[in-house]
Structure formats: structure tokens, C-alpha cells
Amino acid sequence: MDAAPDPHRYAIVDLIRRKRDCGTWTPDEARWIINAFTAGIVADEQMSALAMAVFFRGMAPAELDAWTEAMIATGSRLDYSGLGRPTADKHSTGGVGDKITLPLTPLVAACGVAVPQLSGRGLGHTGGTLDKLDSIPGWRSDLPPARVRAQLEDVGGVIVAAGPDLAPADRKLYALRDVTGTVESIPLIASSIMSKKIAEGTGTLVLDVKVGSGAFMKDIDRARTLAETMVRLGTRAGVRTTALLTDMDTPLGLTAGNALEVGEALEVLAGGGPADVVDLTLALAREMLAGAGVDADPAEVLASGRAMDRWRRLVRAQGGDPDAPLPVAREHETLTAESDGVIGGVDALGVGLAAWHLGAGRARKEDQVQAGAGIQLHVRPGDRVRTGQRLVTLHTDTPERFEAARRALAGAVTLLGPEGHVDERPLVLGRVTADDIR
């Protein structure tokens, strides 16, 4: 961050009022707000009021551009231009059962692209990639920049937490948004994600924008607006950016939880796994490879076993033991079908909340998670079941959590009559590129 901003250059109360009353800031005012907040000139309660004004009034493109640029400038910007291979990263807006980063990173690395994958921890009903990986004995995600670069040169992929010097303004602002009900603001989501992704120095970025009950974006129109906003920010910053809109009405795969999802990711790398997890992994890999200008067939690389080999190297490089058994919860409970019929739907939000109640997620950032806790699904929409057949298995170390999980799942798995029919819903609902926003 540059020299401390002039505390008398603007009056923050006037800027709050202007946004509250549907006005706009100049780019210089937007930059000053971020710099003054980071420097402690703008108080937390003032920034909270301003965030709420943005939640209701939004930001014009010029405001958001300056705001995002200022967030990036509060920290360092990494540069991987000398790696000798193109770089690509993926970001998901968060969902239930979303373990795609785990097979995707080694797959794209095995195709010849360096993947500096920045990931985060879960909060609420959406899982976090770093929480999943923490279930691998010895795994470390807090690597210094020099170690990250060395691993990219050697292995081709790394999955790490954002360092403290990467867009630190975002970390400070997100803590306020999380406790003031402003997390869902599209400009604040877009600037939060893109400030870190631009600062990390990747050449190509593919965004997985989730849509549905288990996602922050519940409808396709808001999801597309978010995708277009982020693609525009990335493109403007010189990052080749595309986005896929993907379904999150139903959980991805058959597991929601930490070690459970790692196990499922390993199935994919071994050539098996649920079809939707495989399909989305390949779809995102193709986007990343196209953006990086690499001509490779990710399906062939996955089938060859080279992605699994790369996974094992990646885990070892980050201190983990790829051969160690994954944690298993001490207690289990299975819910069964009460009648014959056809599974009409499996609600992602209900499954995510149940996994959270079982200990797989956290209510506050400082909460601990249970590595083995979570949900194992035995059915998918459209499956035909008989009375007494297994539907869901609950996993936890603390059996007193079962009751809350059962309540969360009430109505989450819907059962139609024996003659019921479910239309197949596409996994990828849309695509946004730079050409779509010009």
C-alpha cells in the first residue's frame, strides 16, 4: 500500500449519504474509501454503513473498477511470468459437495499448465477446500510465496490459502460483511473474489458461478450478473477470464463433508466417481486449458492415471501422506425410504445444513470442524427406490448432533410415486466470456 491517504481529502459521511441516495463516487473517491478504511481512518461502523448502502444501491462500473484496483494495491501482486509454462486458476462461488478443486488442480497440471490454486475455508453450509485437504495427515496450506513458486516449477500445481499480503483490504472488509448481512452484494462479492485472483498473478481464470438452493446466487439472472461483473473485472486487468454457470440445486456428487469429499475426489482421479463430478471437472479443465492456449485432452489425461500421479506429488510436496487413511467419524446413522417410489429431488441447501450440523462446517471462522463428519448420499434424483432402502447416511463424532441434522434434512430428499418421472437438469447452465460483455 502507498503512503497513508489524506484523512481530510473526503468526508466519509458525505460519501455514505451519496451512495445511500443513489449517487455515485468518482474513481478517486472509491480508491480513497478503500485506502482510508485499510489505514484505519474510516471506522468499522462507517464502513459497515457504506457496505449496506452498496448492498442496496450497487456500484457503477467505474466505481467498481477503482474500488477493486485499490483493494489489490493494498498488498502485493504476484508474478509467475517466468515459470516457463502458462498459468491458470479456477474459483467457485461455493456450494454443497463441491470438491472439484481436488481432482481439477492435478489434472490441469498434468496437462502442462501451472495451477496456483488459491482456496479458502468453509463458512455456514458451503464447504471449504482447505478444510477438506486438512483431513489428509500432514497437509499444509500456509506456504510462503517462494515455496509456492518452487512447487509450481516442480509439481505444476499448488493449493494454498491466500497469504496475508494478498489484497489485505478484502480480508478486513469481508469480516465486516460477514456480520452485517452484506455478503450477498454482487459488487462486493465480485471485488472480493477478483481482487485476490488478479493479485495472485494467474494468466487465465475460470469462474464456476453456482446457481440454486445451495448457492449464494439462487436464480440464474443474478448469477449471470455476477459472472459478467467478474469476467469484466478480470478482462480489464489483463487476465483471460471466463465463467460457467453451474447447477447447485442438487449437491455435487454423493458426499458433503471433509474427508468424505476427499475420498470421492480420489475416486475421480482413479477413473471412477460420480458422473457429475467427473463432467464438471472436465468442463472446467477444458476452459482452463483453452485460456492457457494448451492443446490437451483432459479426459485422456484423467483416464491415463497421470492426474493421480500428479495428485500424489502435490500432496507430498505440501507435507501430506497420500497413502494415509482418511479420518472416519465415530458415529453413523442411516435414513431409509418409507415407501416405494422415485427420488424427485435432493435439496442442496438441506444437505449442506445437515452436514454443518454434524460438524463438517463452522458458524464462525474460529470454529473447529470435524474431519470425518458429513453426509453420504445413496440416491440421486430420478433413482427408483424400495421401502427400507438407504437414502442418506449421517457421519459425526458427536451423536447428539444427529437430531439437528435430521431436522435439516426433513423434506430435502423428496419421494415421488412409483410412476414418477424427473427430467434431467443440465449441470452447466450457461457460459460467459469477454465477448459477452463488450
374-377 and 390-396 as β-strands: parallel, antiparallel, unpaired? antiparallel
Lowest model confidence (mean pLDDT) among 152-166, 266-280, 285-299, 372-386: 152-166
Cell numbers 460467459 correspond to what residue? Answer: 432
Confidence (pLDDT) at 2: 60
With bands split at pLDDT 50, 70 and 90, how would you rate the model's confidence at 412? very high
- pLDDT at residue 393 tops 60: yes
Q: pLDDT per residue over 299-336, tens digit each?
A: 999 999 999 999 999 999 999 999 999 999 999 999 99
With bands split at pLDDT 50, 70 and 90, how would you rate the model's confidence at 355? very high
The domains of the chain are located at: 12-73, 88-324+429-437, 331-416
Partner residues linked to 393 by β-bridges: 334, 376
- In the chain, the percentage of residues whose pLDDT exceeds 70 is 97
Confidence (pLDDT) at 43: 95
Confidence (pLDDT) at 384: 96
- pLDDT at residue 177 tops 70: yes
Q: pLDDT per residue over 260-296, tens digit each?
A: 999 999 999 999 999 999 999 999 999 999 999 999 9
Q: Which CATH number fits domain 88-324+429-437: 1.10.3210.10, 3.40.1030.10, 1.10.510.10, 3.40.50.150?
A: 3.40.1030.10
* Average pLDDT across the chain, whole number: 94
Q: pLDDT per residue over 88-132, tens digit each?
A: 999 999 899 999 999 999 999 999 999 999 888 776 677 789 999
| Residues known to be catalytic | 91, 170, 177, 192, 196
Cell numbers 492443446 correspond to what residue? Answer: 295
Is residue 159 within 8 Å of 318, Cβ to Cβ? Answer: yes
Q: Is the dihedral of CA 176, 182, 184, 190 positive or negative?
A: negative
Cell numbers 462507517 correspond to what residue? Answer: 46
Confidence (pLDDT) at 1: 54
Confidence (pLDDT) at 52: 96
The CATH class that applies to domain 331-416 reads alpha beta
Average pLDDT over residues 137-166: 93
Radius of gyration of the chain (CA): 22
Report the Cα 119 to chain-centroid distance in Å. Answer: 7
CA separation for the pair 71, 82 (Å, rounded): 25
One fold for 12-73 and 88-324+429-437:
no
| Domain at 12-73: CATH code | 1.20.970.10
Would you call 62 helix, strand, or coil by DSSP? helix
Confidence (pLDDT) at 365: 67
Q: What is the pTM of this model?
A: 0.94
- pLDDT at residue 26 tops 80: yes
